[in-house]
Amino acid sequence: MKTILISGISKGIGAHLASHLLEVGHRVVGIGRQGNDNLEAHDSFKFYPCDLLELDSVKEVSKAIGKENEIDLFFHNAMYTPKHKPFLRYKDEDLIKAFTVCSASALTIINSIVTPMRKNKFGRILFLGSIIQETGSVGQLAYLTAKSSLDGLTKGLSLELATSGVTCNLLLLGPVETDKLKDNLSEEAYENIKNTIPTGEFVNVEHISGLVDFFLTPASTPINGVTLPVANSMHLRKL
């Protein structure tokens, strides 16, 4: 049994991953603004409320998490996503908030949980990025730039932790088929997105859960500092 910390577990990818990990017998710790009633009913789940935009709060809560739990894998799923708009209409706070949730909060959390990982000679850090880091995107500059910063974090942390048994990797997700995606898009928009995917298929939450299962095994040890597209070949569209 492993203990997995997930940021952003109220719904979507984070909630599904947490549910899956609990089902297969792991302990799950959640951090974020909102909890999840279904998850909190489980004895092996613990939620720490925290606004990841407030770094002082993140530091305090992360210290509590590190003190009360030995985390084996940290899955950084949380993100602040401004509305789509041209970059000339962005405000400073759009960029600051995106970077704070995406990168600064992640590093603050890692600082509080990595010592037991190093002591145990086992730890996994997985950042959730986006395939638009490879392809670019119009109207999502704050999101794109903040997510791209995870590449630097991945490379830097993987080298600094290289001899400790702790690995750090970045998953670049293509469009993921979730209830939110279906609810927020018209049928035409849904099909338009699907048509941009070379395989014609969305990533699904089971794919992501399966990858996390793999990274929890010793077989994943040599995979360190890697930026891994999980996008049904979408990263090749630019070629």
CATH of the domain at 46: 3.40.50.720
Lowest-pLDDT choice from 34-43, 50-59, 129-138: 129-138
Q: Would you say residue 139 has pLDDT above 70?
A: no
- Please report whether residue 141 resides in a domain: yes
Q: pLDDT for 3-23, tens place per residue?
A: 999 999 998 899 999 999 999
- Please report whether residue 97 resides in a domain: yes
Q: pLDDT for 181-230, tens place per residue?
A: 776 677 777 777 777 777 767 788 899 999 999 999 999 999 999 999 88
The DSSP symbol for 42 reads S
- Which helix (H) or strand (E) segment holds residue 24: the answer is none
Give the residue from 132, 142, 130, 10 showing the smallest Cα distance to 81. Answer: 142
Q: pLDDT for 165-185, tens place per residue?
A: 999 999 998 778 776 677 667
Q: Based on the structure, what is the number of domains in the chain?
A: 1
Domain that holds residue 220: 3-233
pLDDT of residue 238: 56
Per the prediction, the chain carries an average pLDDT of 89
pLDDT of residue 239: 44
The DSSP symbol for 203 reads B
The average pLDDT across 154-167 equals 97
- Please report whether residue 76 resides in a domain: yes
pTM value?
A: 0.91
- Please report whether residue 238 resides in a domain: no
For 168, phi then psi, to 5°, come to -135, 125
Q: How far apart are CA 109 and CA 130, in angstroms?
A: 21
